[in-house]
A and B are shown apart, each in its own frame.
Chain A
Amino acid sequence: MLEIKNLHARIAEDGTEIIRGLNLSVKAGEVAAIMGPNGSGKSTLSYILAGREDYEVTEGDILFNGQSILEMDPAERAATGIFLAFQYPMEIPGVATMEFLKTAINAQRKARGEEELKIPDLLKRVRSAADELEMDMNMLKRPLNVGFSGGEKKRAEILQMKLLEPKLCMLDETDSGLDIDALKIVADGVNALRSPDRAVVVITHYQRLLDYIVPDTVHVLYRGQIIKSGSKDLALDLEKNGYAGVIGEAA
């Protein structure tokens, strides 16, 4: 489903290379975990996949279902089914959350040639998704993410993900800022989305989340490259022995 080939990317503004020849492939139905110490380039990779303009791809390619996405803008990528749950979701004053959800859902439906959702249908879906995530509907009356706590923002990201039903779900440090109960709720939400035609990429630098969202594959990202890949045991090994061993091996 996702094929990243020898990807090189740099910060557009100052030319610093962050991703340095990264290869990764994730199959439909797979849950892949990307781990690595802070500053390795995990968030950068997720932003590049989502199409953020701050980064320039200088070499390599990203294929999604066999098609290069490099020329697509973020909205087009979202419409093809790519979703990123942000590490730091942005607060957007003045944009009502419900209005935003309606616009986003219907924009994607339209791009896929589906009919727009009517307000009652939309409300029903939002309510049921919010219930599952134990979110208060009143929160959704506020402007998008404004005044949400860290944990509420993370839940709101998962709410959006459930509603948009993407094909590739990327979660960037979704566990940070969540207490253990919230973590379980969010993990349940993600697990409910697991399906043979959907891939999940979980970015984290702790093993903790992976107890609840059990990955099929684990990849270690360090200095802009995947330096080691393995099964879920690799995550346990990293938890026990830290990254130093793996980094030393690769060097």
Chain B
Amino acid sequence: MNLHAQTTRTAAEAALIDSFAARISDLPGDAETTVHRDDALELLKAGLPTRRVEAWHYTDLRRLLSTVPAYRFESSAAQVAPLIDRAELLPVLNGAANTQRGGISGVAVSRLADRLIEGDLTSKLGVADPYDTVAAINAAFVSDGYCLEIEDGAQIDRPVEFQNVHAGGQVHSRFAVKAGAGSKATIVERQTGSEEALVSSVSHLDVAEGAEVLWIVLQEQPDTVSHLAQFTATLGKDAKLTLFIMNAGGKLVRQEVRVTADGEGSSFRLRGVNLLAGETHCDVTMVLDHLAPDTFSTETIRNIVTGKAEGVFQGQIRVARDAQKTDAKMACNTLLLSDEGSFSAKPELEIFADDVACGHGATVTEIEADHLFYLMARGIDEKTARGLLVKAFLAEVIEELEDEAVIEALEKKLDAWFVEHG
């Protein structure tokens, strides 16, 4: 029985089903992979979720995903300059990973397509629930990506950068990283391209005991792209994960984050900067499970809304009965720079343990007139003064990242965005 069974399919729903029929014979994977793909298709056949589904309340996918373009194998995508100069690049161009590349010391790198054919990734292709639509679209269509296994204790000092680049059409990619015990790494996930496209991208990260990972998602799609992404992570004992997400483009963006803090003493930081312009609809939806005692998390999301853009942040923190001494703090602050834009924030705490410290707050404000006056009274013209204040609002989050090269690179991206949209 499906709550949102539809009598008629939308053009996008029909196009997804047609795409599957056309593509399935060319998609990589063993027999079990194909079973997962078929299951995923069944979920999609039941229809895309609407606002009646709680998890999709602010992003009515059925309405917002108006078209699903056909695949465009004839066009070619090229890799882009890395976010951080010294990075090791692992590009996926129009849905195909690179076959020729050098090794990375301390890391075993393999192509996702190969792993699907070998059948040792199938456990990850399942969906969590009937509305796990992003995972389902990706499971049905995923063509390639990378798997990384970072050796125990390896300190990977050059950032590893995945690039999921398209030249229009459809791209469905996946990235899986295992950070071995005590290892340390910085991973960059770039999402970009040109032309109209439907992109789905799923990332899995396992942070083993005592390992430390900084994962940066930089989404810079053109305003003709529907971008559906999911990031999932599990944290081992004393593991540390910082996830930084910058959304700086896209027509329809859904970035899901699912983190399970199942190791005692593990900590998670989510930092998000959403730069919303034009008519973009951008949704960051996080579900964080604190399952073990002494786990720690902070989530800070800062948004700029201009034009007719709509933003969404849903943050759900669940603290299990055994997760005593959990400390979780979530904040979502928005600077609304236009009367026609909007931002909806939905923080949610579900706490089953009794000895915890959890809090959340959400604000939507305009630029403070007093601050603007102060800067202008020192001779700074209005446009520059506004720019300084907006940047300051966002830079606070970026500057928490500690690594100078990373901070500088992200601030450059901010500046570039303002040059284009400010």
Q: Which residues of A contact B (CB under 8 A)?
A: 50-54, 73-75, 77-79, 83-84, 86, 89-90, 92-95, 99-100, 103-104, 107-108, 111, 143, 160, 164
Contacts and interface: CB of A to CB of B under 8 A. Distances in A.
Given A92-B375, A100-B375, A107 B381 contact: yes
A94 B381 contact: no
Contact of B377 (A51, A54, A92): A51
B352 interface: no
B371 A78 contact: no
Nearest to A81: B379
A160 B378 contact: yes
Contact of A53 (B373, B375, B385, B391): B373
A74 B389 contact: no
A62 to B, nearest CB: 15
Given A75-B379, A107-B378, A107-B379, 10 more contacts: A50-B373, A75-B376, A78-B377, A84-B377, A90-B374, A94-B389, A94-B393, A95-B389, A100-B378, A143-B392
A168 B112 CA distance: 69
Interface string B354-387: 0000000000000001110111111111101100
Contact of A107 (B384, B391, B393, B394): B384
A75 B385 contact: yes
A35 to B, nearest CB: 23
B379 A104 contact: yes
Given A75-B385, A92-B371, A50 B392 contact: no
Contact of A95 (B369, B379, B392): B392
B401 interface: no
B395 interface: yes
B376 A92 contact: no
A73 B372 CA distance: 12
Given A92-B392, A95-B388, A75 B380 contact: yes
Contact of B392 (A83, A93, A164): A93
Interface residues of B, number: 23
B144 to A, nearest CB: 40
Most chain A beta-carbon neighbours within 10 Å: one of B373, B375, B379, B391: B379
A78 B374 contact: no
Contacts of B388: 95, 99-100, 103
A111 B376 CA distance: 13
A39 B378 CA distance: 26
Instruction: Please report whether the interface of chain B is mostly helix, strand, loop or mixed according to DSSP.
Output: helix
Contacts of B404: none
B24 to A, nearest CB: 50
Contacts of B370: 90
A73 B379 CA distance: 10
Given A75-B385, A103-B384, A143-B392, A92 B374 contact: yes
Contact of A164 (B369, B375, B379): B379
Given A52-B373, A86-B374, A95-B389, A78 B396 contact: no
Nearest to A101: B378
Most chain A beta-carbon neighbours within 10 Å: one of B371, B374, B382, B396: B374
A93 B396 CA distance: 8
Given A93-B392, A94-B393, A95-B388, A78 B378 contact: yes
Contacts of A94: 389, 391-396
A73 B382 contact: yes
A214 B391 CA distance: 42
A90 B369 CA distance: 11
A120 B396 CA distance: 26
A108 B389 CA distance: 19
Contacts of A52: 373, 377
Contacts of A143: 392
Nearest to A95: B392
A108 B382 contact: no
Would you list the 6 A-B pairs with minimal beta carbon distance, nearest first?
A94-B392, A78-B379, A74-B376, A104-B378, A108-B379, A75-B376
A38 B373 CA distance: 23
B274 to A, nearest CB: 17
A164 B367 CA distance: 25
21 contacts: A51-B373, A51-B377, A74-B376, A75-B382, A78-B379, A79-B379, A83-B377, A84-B377, A90-B370, A90-B371, A90-B374, A92-B371, A92-B374, A94-B396, A104-B380, A107-B379, A107-B380, A107-B381, A107-B384, A108-B378, A108-B379
